[in-house]
Amino acid sequence: MVLNPVIPKLSSKLIVLASASPRRLEILRNAGLRFEVVPSWFKETLDKGLFKAPHEYAVETAKQKALEVARRMPFKHLKTPDIVIGADTIVTVDGTILEKPVDKRDAYRMLSSLSGKEHSVFTGVAIVICHEKEKVDYQLIDFYEETKVKFADLSEDMLWEYINSGEPMDKAGGYGIQALGGMLVEYVHGDFFNVVGFPLNHFCKQLDLIYNHSTSSLDQQNASDCLSLHNSSPSPRPNSLSTSQTHHIQQSSSCSPVRKVGKGSQSEVGESSWRLLNSLSAHTSRESELQDETLPQLTNRGQMTDLGVTQHEPSEPKKEDLQQITELMDGFKASKALFTASKLCVFDLLQSRPGLDATQVAQEIKASLKGTECLLQACVSLGLLKSKERTCKKPVYENTDLATRFLVSGSPFALHGYIQHCNDIVWPLFSHLESAVREGTNQHEKAFGKKSKDIFQDTYYNSQEVKLRFMNAMHSIARVTGKAVASAFDLSSYKTACDLGGCTGAMAYEFTKAHPGLSVTVFDLPAVVEMSEHFQPLHTDNRVSFVAGDFFKDELPKADLYILARILHDWPDEKVHILLSKIADACTTGCGLLLSEIFLDEDRRGPSRGLLQALSMSEGKQRSATEYSLLLKSHGFITAHVTHTDNLLDAMLCIKV
């Protein structure tokens, strides 16, 4: 569409989005742009009071985000991008800039100020173009888009109902027009996508101007336009902002974005918004010095000098060693192939229509033929699909038994929900693993652009969509592991159980199936309980009930047996002791506590699933069976049985003494 004239010129370029916003990512991907996501580390701490107009603040923030990524990537990622895109969206009403609310009270303040009024949504966009020669040069163009939005008069009940949905907490102005927040809006004047978070139409036209209608070479910039990269820090005063940070590019083909920018509907022309930033020569030379200090010295023939170490002819590597190390190196590729095929519903498609060829699959999933062929062939190599050759025809594809059992969304043991969780949450976190290891903390802020004090409230339950996605992930894991955990021990002596943090009730239903005399109460947060009906089986077992509450704060339901499945590893020691103390206080002598987690080997050499999970750097920790036993003993529980199942989770039954 609008990008079509530019796409061929961008196909060989490394384009980077300096934002973790899922909305911006979706908008740009749907437009056909291929790019990587490298969230900016720029702290959005500019003083709003120093800017003459709100759009100047948004543009400056976008510029600093893009420049931070453009500077960092050659050294931290060891590759130089061709284009870096930065953006910042703000809402303004009555001269006040509204960004993301910090809590519910702040969201109430914002939404109250918008009630019944027209307000402006500004998105500042910065495009940094990088030129890598002997040094790295940067060129910058920035612009903004304004959209007018009118809210209806909002009652107190409507305000709090929307705030309690969790949706406002990661949205500028405290609302998301593309989701539940759209119900608050009376009208929109301007670009709808700009309100969502990115002015797509303006951006596409801008790229077209840059690559198809520029009347002067970017490499022939006047030297007087050069600025030192060291001086490209946030502008300390509004009058030091470049006058080139203007509104819309004139849409005349004679107007080069390199030379002239102005307000779209006016003839006013500002000075060039392109600025050539001086190379990183100082940085580059220092990097070279550091490398020279650490590299072995070479002779004038290019051979390594003898550093006093006896050289031995290496033996040929063993085939099994090469295979093991190759599988480890390529493991992330296999995971992403699985995630992508699952997200594109390839397995569901081939379950309903087995025997499709690559062309037919590509048409159904709305993907390129080349990409689809590569994905299908990769899935065949991974044992997820099988292909059948046909004489003089293209091969056709079917699911393997493995895919039918675990990857088709309608399967009783489908892991579709958990795979989506891995793709959307775990994958971004692990892309920052180096930082996680260096800092010893989780990387939610870098991966998702915000800090997370409470992983569940802030990350998983902050919007209806994310909440359902997380619950679906937990539901799919519970269905796969539930039977093994529920049948691990003879629980016939217990009549009532309470599944703490039991989410959708999938585990609870397995317990009632395995033990006909047992009734189970699922105790979880109100936001979870209200959505649990979406996951209940068609023939509801009346022995499973749901109670809303916070197990750290509220009184626990009375029961003979308490179930903790995949709970303790998430929390720091302080909260683990609070929870176990509450359970101990609720128990009488003889009550049971059934714990289900991944039990580490006593020498902590495995299993790798638990040790790899620990790399997420959550506040909690992975433990061995002995460590869990000692932990529970400190709260008056004696371990009666430990079972290492052949499933994803192990189990331990403890008795209150």
Q: Does 458 score more than 90 pLDDT?
A: no
User: Which pLDDT does position 407 carry in this prediction?
Assistant: 93
Domain boundary among 211, 241, 260: 211
Q: What's the pLDDT tens digit per position in 364-419?
A: 999 999 999 999 999 999 999 999 887 667 899 999 999 999 999 888 888 888 89
CATH number where 151 lies: 3.90.950.10
- Residue with more model confidence, 407 or 451: 407
Q: Does 214 score more than 60 pLDDT?
A: no
Is 64 among the domain residues?
yes
Is 12 among the domain residues?
yes
Q: Which of 3-17, 21-35, 256-270 has the lowest mean pLDDT?
A: 256-270
Q: Which two tokens stand for residue 564?
A: 């903790």
User: Which pLDDT does position 261 carry in this prediction?
Assistant: 31
Q: Which residue is catalytic, options 47, 82, 88, 550?
A: 88
Residue 88 annotated among the catalytic residues of the structure:
yes
Q: Which two tokens stand for residue 648?
A: 């994803």
- Strand extents, DSSP E, 241-307: 275-277
User: Distance between the two ends of the chain, CA-based, in angstroms?
Assistant: 71
Is 346 among the domain residues?
no
Percent of the residues in the chain that have a pLDDT greater than 90, as a whole number: 46
To the nearest 10°, the Cα dihedral for 63, 67, 68, 73? 150
Cβ neighbors of 466 (< 8 A, separation 6 or more) are 166, 459, 460
Q: Stretch 547-556: mean pLDDT, rounded?
A: 94
Q: Stretch 297-302: mean pLDDT, rounded?
A: 35
pLDDT tier at 305 (50, 70, 90 boundaries)? very low
Q: Does 81 score more than 60 pLDDT?
A: yes
User: Which pLDDT does position 532 carry in this prediction?
Assistant: 82
CATH number where 549 lies: 3.40.50.150
Q: What's the pLDDT tens digit per position in 579-600?
A: 999 999 999 999 999 999 999 9
Residues in the chain: 657
Angle at 470 between CA 469 and CA 476, to 5 degrees: 90
Is 77 among the domain residues?
yes
Q: Which domain holds residue 605?
A: 482-656
- Residue with more model confidence, 536 or 13: 13
Is 164 among the domain residues?
yes
Domain boundary among 149, 176, 211: 211
SS3 52: coil
Cα–Cα distance list, 488 to 11, 115, 481, 495 (Å): 55, 56, 11, 17
At 145, the amino acid letter reads: E
Q: Which two tokens stand for residue 586?
A: 């609720």
In degrees and rounded to multiples of 5, residue 548 shows phi and psi of -90, 140
Is 34 among the domain residues?
yes
Q: What's the pLDDT tens digit per position in 18-67?
A: 998 888 998 998 888 889 999 999 887 788 888 889 999 999 999 999 99
Q: Does 425 score more than 70 pLDDT?
A: yes
Strand partners of residue 520:
497, 544
Domain boundary among 211, 246, 265: 211
Is 40 among the domain residues?
yes
Is 305 among the domain residues?
no
Q: Which of 7-16, 139-148, 221-230, 545-554 has the lowest mean pLDDT?
A: 221-230
Q: Stretch 556-562: mean pLDDT, rounded?
A: 96
Name the domain count of the chain. 2
Helix 625-633, helix 573-586: angle, nearest 10: 60
